[in-house]
Amino acid sequence: MHKTTIKLRALTSQIELIDRASALLEKRRADFILEASWDRAQSLLDNQGILNPDLAKLNQVNEMLENAPEPNAGLERLKSIRAPWLDR
């Protein structure tokens, strides 16, 4: 894997905040920034799949919703089970 340098300009207050947080995790500033950026980018890209679904997958879900399965013993048993979050 090829490594490259990323240069950033930041306000003193931003650096101080990053330094405090990275010290809590016993990480170097650069490692902390890279990890936080990676986590944020991954979260954003994961959410894109939720907010912008693939059209083929969306059509597949719509098809399943429009064509519900015929009633059967397994489905009836599943529907009779009380959702555990209702008992909280």
Q: Which of these, 31, 26, 28, 30, lies nearest to 10 by C-alpha position?
A: 30
Give percent of the chain above pLDDT 90.
65
- Write the single-letter amino acid at 79: K
pLDDT digits (tens, 9 = 90+) for 75-88: 999 999 999 999 87
pTM for the whole structure: 0.55
**Which residues 6+ apart lie within 8 Å of 28 measured at CB?**
22
Handedness of CA 52, 53, 59, 62 (dihedral sign): negative
Taking only the tens place, the pLDDT of each residue in 55-67 is 898 899 899 999 9
- pLDDT over 80 (residue 69): yes
Would you state the structure tokens that stand for residue 78, as one six-digit string? 């599943």
pLDDT greater than 90 at residue 71: no
How many Å apart are CA 58 and CA 29, to the nearest integer? 42
